[in-house]
Structure 1
């Protein structure tokens, strides 16, 4: 938060005005999360967020589970735990949001992935994104996406005017494969959106569970155990080992200058990109076909021309990496499916359908470890405000692109949170 205080001093110091680093400098933030779904690290990140609500103008908590059973009720359950801890926290931290305020901004978004066109119908969550974005405020609305992009895509479809009012920081990578169609809709129709596509950098924050010090596998015993109701609940997620893979999207607006993605921040440092990788195949691929990691891989196959198949209805299946993905008939016998992966190496796949006359197909694709990697004529073109993981090999942490820009701050972040957790033990 030092950057925010410094910013105020720089702006107002020369004219002798006395201001405080309060509402004028707090970033406006809306969280979109798939909490309660297949990955419990959203619960961990939510516990962290709730203990830092004094640092933001938090305007929304939207449940957006493109995959799994996430729901609004899980956010509300976390708020209930926070409410029990709030009396102790409030003794030490001023400006924390009330449980009533938090419940009022908690909304249900899309349950399940969007069809091929990338959007479907408005949800309570997508409408709330639009309402917040349209508020009269000189500050942009930072939309911190911890899961799929369905509600962001829906909001942009329904209200294109909000595109220059929001800034999206998306934890992509594995989340990208769950919302390929919504991602494709956004990048095709809103290439000038301010977007931080964080596909790998965030993974520098994920704990090393084999390291037994107090910042990694030992963090629960050192800081969380006995820390109120939120601390007692934390043991239910990864046995208390803090993964917190979505937290960097929040850390980005907590520390550093969020207007400068290339600068230093707890949430990472990013570089502009002019394109987003999108290899398109109108044939079966083999292991000799290589694509960049995190690409939107688009497979097209020929099949029966069936005018009776409803538009945007799933009608065939891509099975790859032991997971199944819906494909769609685009018309004229052109069947298409999008896929994205964070796995490296060669992945075999099959394409099957119950449609009579649809061929059963087998192929393979090889994933390379650099994003956006080698250029393709079919890549999406994006504008000057699209940022992504830094490609400098010196900033790889292990084999993760840009992750060093987050990893180097992890101890400082965990120490800072540890101080707040201590308040719940007093």
Structure 2
């Protein structure tokens, strides 16, 4: 090896670990969020988004609460705090959008999950997704989904042609069970959608595995945020300032690396292709001998009395893992309900109804940690642009598949954010 080659080799091997460079052009993004619902991590992620809003062309901020009491006022409240901190932000970057503009693209989406069919009627939010997707542009519209897929499914139903104009990065996992009907509709009817389904990798962003004390989820606020502007004061309201921000990896994905290459490296994760999404149909009670993949779509098909209510009406209850889910009458004495388990465990369920002649049921099934697992006969068959968490066991963080693809960049991303918190501390 000659001397020049030796020096080059040394520089490459000793270089610190850095992700690819920031994206080459501003991405068009639309956020669909269940902010204000049961989990305040969306409030934390909204603060992060606004502090980096100079890096995006934000075309929509849609309130899409599949569950809970979230609404657009939570987004507008965050914009109001951003407005107060904006003078300090603009000392460093001139491209931050005006609060007036952000308010103009804030829309209310559907409240509550979609019925069994997966869609219902248009909302202001779903119509806005369509309007943005149909704009003439040589850049795709990136739809970053922090909650349920209900408004995305509605938009696709009402304007199927936008399938080729949008790219979706979805924080699934627990969100999947809240919008399982919309997910099922999209997977069955739009398999060629460009879709990153992140069921577990996002957890790497709030993992403390191998993290220095100053960047620990419990310590970051005191070290970098305390006293930093109006947004910093508000951050303390959520988890007492502890970092969660499970939806932030969707934003990080658009900031760093090459978004059009999900298999590459990015602050927002690295993903692999999937060609099927597991779907399991139970026509009878499940037993301990039944094992299903985590995050899979489970359908319980039941027979019962023929009743005079509209098809797709809720009329019975599935109770599982301490939560209740509405089941639907499908017509002609057929009933159905879907569920998506969020972690590996053994679950027992009951199905009950006050309908005369409806037989109550109960059962048990085992959830394993293999996603998406081996193909099954009822699976949704996906196209060539559907991606998900990497399955390499070396990339698990504990039980969470693919989480190390985000965890490896977490410190770098948080230190970059710390610089912006310092901007807000300036007098």
**Which category describes the TM-score, using the shorter chain as reference length?**
over 0.9
Deviations 1:34-63 (A, max 9, x none): 000000000000000000011111100000
Residue 3 (structure 2) aligns with? none
Q: Is the 8 A contact 2:20 2:265 kept in 1?
A: no
Change (3 A) 1:194 1:410: same
Once superposed, which parts of structure 1, at least 4 consecutive aligned residues long, lie more than 3 Å away? 1-5, 207-212
Residue 289 (structure 1) aligns with? 290
Residue 222 (structure 1) aligns with? 223
Q: What is the distance in 1 between the residues matched to 2:410 and 2:22?
A: 20
Structure 2 gap ranges (5+): 1-18
Q: Is the 8 A contact 2:203 2:403 kept in 1?
A: yes
Q: What is the distance in 2 between the residues matched to 1:239 and 1:287?
A: 40
| SS in structure 1 of the partner of residue 118 of structure 2 | coil
Residue 336 (structure 1) aligns with? 336
Residue 46 (structure 1) aligns with? 46
When the two structures are superposed, what TM-score results if normalisation uses the length of structure 2?
A: 0.93
Residue 160 (structure 2) aligns with? 160
Q: What is the distance in 2 between the residues matched to 1:275 and 1:3?
A: 32
Is the counterpart of residue 115 in structure 1 residue 115 in structure 2? yes
Deviation at residue 303 of structure 1 after TM alignment:
1.0
Q: What is the distance in 2 between the residues matched to 1:415 and 1:332?
A: 59
Q: What is the distance in 2 between the residues matched to 1:311 and 1:38?
A: 30
Change (3 A) 1:148 1:344: same
| SS in structure 1 of the partner of residue 299 of structure 2 | strand
Q: Is the 8 A contact 2:211 2:411 kept in 1?
A: no
Q: Is the 8 A contact 1:29 1:60 kept in 2?
A: yes
Deviations 1:179-229 (A, max 9, x none): 000101111110000000000010111244997811121100001100100
Q: Is the 8 A contact 2:302 2:336 kept in 1?
A: yes
Change (3 A) 1:209 1:234: farther
Change (3 A) 1:135 1:414: same
Deviation at residue 3 of structure 1 after TM alignment:
3.4
Q: What is the distance in 2 between the residues matched to 1:210 and 1:416?
A: 18
Q: What is the distance in 1 between the residues matched to 2:230 and 2:338?
A: 42
Deviations 1:15-36 (A, max 9, x none): xxxxxxxxxx111100000000
Deviations 1:70-113 (A, max 9, x none): 10000000000000001111111220111011101000000001
Residue 376 (structure 1) aligns with? 376
Change (3 A) 1:115 1:60: same
Q: Is the 8 A contact 1:45 1:245 kept in 2?
A: yes
Residue 187 (structure 2) aligns with? 187
Deviation at residue 374 of structure 1 after TM alignment:
2.5
Residue 93 (structure 2) aligns with? 93
Residue 28 (structure 1) aligns with? 28
Deviation at residue 332 of structure 1 after TM alignment:
2.7
Deviations 1:398-422 (A, max 9, x none): 1111111001000000000000000
Residue 277 (structure 2) aligns with? 276
Q: What is the distance in 1 between the residues matched to 2:360 and 2:22?
A: 58
Q: Is the 8 A contact 1:207 1:242 kept in 2?
A: no
Residue 22 (structure 1) aligns with? none
The 10-residue stretch of structure 1 (129-138 or 296-305) with the greater mean CA deviation from structure 2? 296-305
Deviation at residue 4 of structure 1 after TM alignment:
5.0
Change (3 A) 1:316 1:295: same
Q: What is the distance in 1 between the residues matched to 2:198 and 2:229?
A: 32
Deviation at residue 177 of structure 1 after TM alignment:
0.3
When the two structures are superposed, what TM-score results if normalisation uses the length of structure 1?
A: 0.94
Residue 142 (structure 1) aligns with? 142
Paired residues for 1:5-404 under 5 Å = 7=24, 25-208=25-208, 213-216=213-216, 217-306=218-307, 308-404=308-404
Deviations 1:310-334 (A, max 9, x none): 1111011100000000111222322
Q: What is the distance in 2 between the residues matched to 1:80 and 1:116?
A: 37
Change (3 A) 1:178 1:210: farther
Q: Is the 8 A contact 2:207 2:407 kept in 1?
A: no
Q: What is the distance in 2 between the residues matched to 1:56 and 1:424?
A: 20
The 10-residue stretch of structure 1 (70-79 or 84-93) with the greater mean CA deviation from structure 2? 84-93
Q: What is the distance in 2 between the residues matched to 1:332 and 1:2?
A: 56
Q: Is the 8 A contact 1:209 1:241 kept in 2?
A: no
Deviations 1:269-300 (A, max 9, x none): 00111100101110100111000000001111
Q: Is the 8 A contact 1:207 1:241 kept in 2?
A: no
Q: What is the distance in 1 between the residues matched to 2:362 and 2:293?
A: 21
Q: What is the distance in 2 between the residues matched to 1:207 and 1:377?
A: 36
